[in-house]
């Protein structure tokens, strides 16, 4: 199979740090697409060295780049090494359905969008579909739309239109403008990319087709660990990414909209033990307001928890620890 192509329309970037349990399967899903091979290329940017995996990539004419550091550094490496005008992201533990890239290409060619997002189905560690309803992942885009931001953004956020790198594709040159910011992110690239591209005054395309298989497993970053200190570290990483993005947004309206994403990250980190991030009462009130207007029960619960934590930190910590023991 020859994937070599100097002028592909699409570039699939698969980024991984040290985890390699599922990455070969991810690559195979990107190889096994309905569009012709001359229309896309695949790049792997990894933080590990594995001779067998490198041989597998070479046999399929897939370029491999070694990059430690932040997720953002691997992301920017992929962007700079890509030949396609459209970048399609795939996490190392997720999979594409066979018609994923065909749908992506059609969306960009027909709409002139800057950002594309599709819905997901869930799979387990054995790549078997999870048929039961999982609350955190149950909200998805209800119907395919071309959206002109930022009007109606609350609905898009409620339906997880900013979630999961493996559901996202973007115009390369529009994203590369923010490479200095991207280099520093490490915990929430999907949300960061979503809000940065809101500033580009181009339409977003939301595809209700479930073209990505999103894997839920023990080593997934989205599955909270049972150690409170680890949860604190993870929450702080998300907070720092959101703070960086908030400080980097130049559009005043978009900055105001993103403030709520920044505040919930701050409140979550505070409740999980980052006591130096104690929110002001104004920040808590703003988060409650956001919860009422979106509407979002999570925002409201987080605000109430922060208020209680201000007065009774040991009480909240005991509740959190009890819940963790049940996981």
Mean local confidence (pLDDT), 125-143? 89
- By three-state DSSP, how is residue 191 classified? helix
Beta strands (DSSP E) in the chain are 10-16, 40-46, 63-66, 86-91, 95-96, 115-123, 145-147, 168-171, 204-215
In this predicted structure, the answer to whether residue 1 has a pLDDT above a threshold of 50 is: no
Taking only the tens place, the pLDDT of each residue in 157-195 is 999 999 999 999 999 999 999 999 999 999 889 999 999
Helix residue ranges per DSSP H, 34-99: 51-59, 71-81
Confidence of residue 238 (pLDDT cuts 50, 70, 90): very high
Provide the pLDDT for residue 164. Answer: 96
Place of tokens 């925002």: 299
3 state DSSP class of 61:
coil
Whether residue 224 is predicted with pLDDT greater than 80 in this model: the reply is: no
- CATH fit for domain 10-215, picks 3.10.180.10, 3.90.550.10, 3.90.180.10, 2.30.30.40: 3.90.550.10
**What are φ and ψ of residue 214, in 5° steps?**
-95, 120
For residue range 50-86, list pLDDT tens digits in order.
Answer: 999 999 999 999 999 999 989 999 999 999 999 999 9
Whether residue 129 has pLDDT greater than 60: yes
Residue spans in the chain of domains classed CATH 3.90.550.10: 10-215
């Amino acid at each position: 199979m020859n994937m070599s192509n100097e002028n592909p329309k699409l570039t699939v970037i698969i980024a991984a740090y040290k985890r390699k349990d599922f990455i070969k399967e991810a690559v195979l899903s990107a190889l096994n697409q309905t569009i012709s091979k001359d229309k896309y290329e695949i790049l792997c940017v990894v933080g590990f060295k594995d001779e067998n995996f490198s041989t597998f990539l070479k046999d399929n004419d897939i370029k491999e780049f070694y990059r430690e550091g932040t997720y953002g550094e691997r992301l920017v490496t992929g962007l700079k090494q890509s030949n396609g005008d459209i970048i399609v992201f795939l996490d190392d533990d997720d999979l594409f359905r066979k018609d994923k890239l065909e749908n992506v290409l059609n969306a960009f060619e027909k709409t002139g969008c800057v950002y594309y997002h599709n819905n997901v189905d869930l799979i387990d560690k054995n790549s078997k579909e999870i048929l039961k309803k999982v609350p955190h992942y149950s909200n998805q885009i209800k119907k395919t739309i071309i959206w002109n931001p930022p009007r109606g953004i609350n609905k898009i956020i409620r339906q997880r239109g900013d979630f999961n790198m493996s559901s996202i594709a973007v115009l390369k040159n529009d994203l590369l403008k923010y490479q200095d910011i991207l280099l520093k992110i490490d915990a929430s690239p999907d949300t960061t990319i979503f809000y940065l591209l809101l500033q580009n005054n181009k339409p977003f395309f939301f595809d209700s087709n479930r073209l990505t298989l999103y894997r839920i497993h023990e080593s997934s970053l989205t599955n909270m660990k049972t150690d409170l200190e680890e949860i604190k570290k993870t929450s702080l990483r998300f907070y720092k990414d959101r703070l960086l993005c908030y400080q980097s947004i130049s559009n005043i309206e978009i900055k105001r909209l993103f403030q709520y994403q920044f505040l919930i990250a701050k409140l979550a980190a505070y409740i999980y033990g980052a006591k130096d991030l104690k929110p002001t009462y104004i920040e808590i009130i703003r988060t409650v307001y956001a919860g009422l207007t979106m509407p979002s029960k999570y925002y409201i619960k987080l605000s109430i928890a922060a208020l209680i934590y201000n007065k009774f930190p040991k009480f909240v910590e005991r509740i959190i620890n009890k819940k963790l023991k049940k996981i």
